[in-house]
Structure 1
Amino acid sequence: MNTEHGGRYHLLRVAHEQFGCEPARLGAEQRQQAERIVERQLRIEAAVLASAEARGVVIPDGQVEQALARIAERYADAAALQQALAASDLDAALLRLLLARELKVEAILERVCAALPPLGDTELSLYYFNHPEQFARPEARTARHILITVNPDFAENTRDAARARLEAIGKRLRSKPERFAEQALKHSECPTALNGGQLGQVVPGTLYAELETCLFALREGQLSGVVESPLGFHLLRCEAIVPARRIALEDALPRLRERLEQRRRKAFQRQWLARLLDSNACVENAHG
């Protein structure tokens, strides 16, 4: 295995992750961008594997097979994967070696920051109180809807007929609002019909503007008139109003700890890599 093999593998991965295609389908500018990324990745990989922290790091075969399985999921079948590998002058055996190498780099980077002490509650609390906007949750609505689509190919779904059908449903529901879920199941042409038209907890920016404006103007328990969106005609019911709130510190702590510790690990790894690459560059210059 050599740098050329690694370059072909990284190019295959970068093409998929950055551009969603095989290397052969990259445009000239995309190819140049991908090759710059690959060149840097290879330089980092070589430096990490040659570092003192790499000693004793071994990747189990099972971990390599899991990584291979994740790659295989991108392709329709095993033949499609083999074809893609062959197009990059790779095969399954070589891919396993390259994956083991990549996993070893990741394991070394994890080892580098293993000695970092865990974040204390005081640090997390300070972040929480200094960034209140990150823990604010806007006012929301729990809602249901009934949709009748417009399709001139069907008499019952012409524009006038669709609206008339929904107005008739709305008239029935104004006298018996508790039947909304039943009517949604029976008449709605949205997949949510199977769940009684339930939209769940809706926050601003979730629905079409026409629907959102209407929904957030409703009182709790109120039924809307007929509202049109690009999907068709709707009836909306506001089941509950969830006031704007701030996530409590004790509820925020678990995810906040995970997020900040991951951010700190990444920053520490970047600093370590920068020092390592600078050191290698100095050595190369001295020998040059």
Structure 2
Amino acid sequence: MSAFQTALPPTAGATDRGEFRYHLLRAAGERFQAGVADLDEAQLAEVTRQARRTFELEDLVLGSAEARGLVIPLDQVAAAVAAVRGRYSDTQEFRSDLERNGLDLEGLHLALRRELTFDAVMQRVGSRHAGVDELEERLFYDFHQERFTVAERRTARHLLITVNDEDAESRRDLVQARIERLAEQVRGPAGGRTQRFEALARRHSQCPTALEGGRLGEVVPGQLYPALDAALFALGAGDLGGPVESELGFHLLLCERIQPGRSIPFTQARPQIRALLEERARRHCQKAWIGGLRQGAAGSVAKPPIDGIRFDDSPLGEQAA
């Protein structure tokens, strides 16, 4: 398979080159969802600072021993270019936008090759992390129980009549009396309560759910207005709640079913915990390695530190803070 050899020379100070323009373009898209040519002066200054940080970090990593001899296949670079090209309707639009942002196809190829090399080096370094054992997994599970809890859910229906004091028939007192009469009709015998609520909601409710007989579906705590939320989660299965007043008007709520909250057992949560802890270990390993590179660079060349960088899931493995 054809491939690029990626023992790339240092590029410090080459911020007028296509590789750096790519960092600018990416930073502009991430920060302002715009091209470089569309930024105002303040935005361009911010994007330039961010691009310098990520470009200098890329330089640092590509100059490391771990990057020497690393081969990026040509088809991998071509796929990355095609992914960028795929964001445009045609080739002319693609090339024109590159030009508007100070790039050409050759510069894009080189920038993406550097990015893929950076990514490969970081993966190689991250793979050196110490393994995760069961004790660590269990400790994480025990100290983060809230992450492994499924919230209580309630299947509910809803009926709303809105208040509008400018409309003589929708004054607050009249609406309140009307919804109380509807509540009495729903209550009746427990048998058939859902059917009665559904029929009344279709006929009287001013909520879009009226089309489905007031059906809200499954609701978790915090999903509704606070007053409605409190009323619903105080009901038993089959109970009617309300009238409840909100800024919209008066509401009735019917709790059809309750699915109690539950804890996810450790055995079920363990694969997710292991993946999270391994990723965290990889990040720590990468961060420590970069720290060593910086110390080595500081000892050989006077160069300002690369500040404001934090790890996340960006294509470069790090992101300007």
Normalising by structure 1, we get a TM-score of: 0.76
Deviation for aligned residue 1:93: 5.2
Name 1:57's counterpart in structure 2: 71
Q: Give the aligned partner of residue 274 of structure 1.
A: 291
Q: Deviations over 1:174-199 (max 9, x none)?
A: 45333256776786743795697233
* Structure-2 change in CA distance of 1:68 and 1:237 (3 Å): farther
1:185/1:197 contact within 8 Å kept: no
Matched residue SS, 2:72:
coil
Partners of 2:22 and 2:111 within 8 A in 1 = yes
1:86 counterpart = 2:99: yes
Following superposition, the deviation at residue 8 of structure 1 comes to 1.6
- Equivalent residues of 2:25, 2:101 under 8 A apart: yes
Report the count of equivalent residues: 282
Offset, 1:255: 1.5
Tell me, yes or no, if the aligned pair for 1:185 and 1:193 is still in contact at 8 Å: yes
Identity %: 36
CA deviation map 1:150-181 (0-9, x unaligned): 7999x9x9677988887776555445333256
Partner of 1:19: 32
Q: Which structure has the bigger radius of gyration?
A: 2
TM-score, normalised via structure 2 length: 0.69
Q: 5+ residue gaps in structure 1?
A: none
Is this contact kept in 2: 1:227–1:233, CA < 8 A?
yes
CA gap of 1:159–1:107, structure 2 versus 1, over 3 A, is farther
Q: Is the 8 A contact 2:163 2:175 kept in 1?
A: yes
Residue identity in the other structure for 2:218: G
Q: C-alpha separation between the residues in 2 aligned to 1:71 and 1:132?
A: 45
Deviations 1:119-162 (A, max 9, x none): 12222012222343443455443433345667999x9x967798
Corresponding residue number in structure 1 for 2:319: none
Change (3 A) 1:8 1:70: closer
The equivalent residue for 1:98 is: 111
Give the conservation status (yes or no) of the 8 Å contact 1:68–1:96. no
Q: Is the 8 A contact 1:142 1:238 kept in 2?
A: yes
SS of aligned partner of 1:116: coil
Paired residue for 1:69?
A: 83
Q: CA RMSD in A?
A: 3.9
Q: Alignment partner for residue 126 of structure 1, among 109, 128, 139? A: 139
Against the structure 1 CA distance between its residues 233 and 123, is the aligned structure 2 distance closer, same or farther, given a 3 Å change threshold?
Answer: same
| Structure 2 counterpart SS, 1:236 | strand
Aligned to 2:193: 177
Residues 126 and 286, structure 2, Cα contact 8 Å, conserved in 1: yes
Structure 1 residues 64, 192: closer, same or farther in 2, change over 3 A?
farther
Q: CA separation in 2, counterparts of 1:148 and 1:68?
A: 54
Q: How does 1:152-167 map to 2 (within 5 A)?
A: none
Of 118-127 and 187-196, the range deviating more from structure 2: 187-196
Cα distance in structure 2, aligned partners of 1:195 and 1:276: 65
Counterpart residue identity of residue 238, structure 2: G
Counterparts of 1:1-288 in structure 2, within 5 Å, are: 3=15, 4-54=17-67, 55-59=69-73, 61-62=75-76, 64-65=78-79, 68-69=82-83, 72-73=86-87, 77-78=89-90, 82-92=95-105, 94-146=107-159, 173-175=186-188, 176-179=192-195, 189-190=207-208, 197-203=215-221, 205-229=222-246, 234-285=251-302
Partner of 1:143: helix, strand, or coil? Answer: strand
Contact 2:154 2:220 in 1 (8 A): yes
Range 89-98 or range 34-43, more displaced:
89-98
Shift of the 43–234 alpha-carbon distance from structure 1 to 2, 3 Å rule, reads same
Quick one: distance in 1 between partners of 2:75 and 2:210? 45
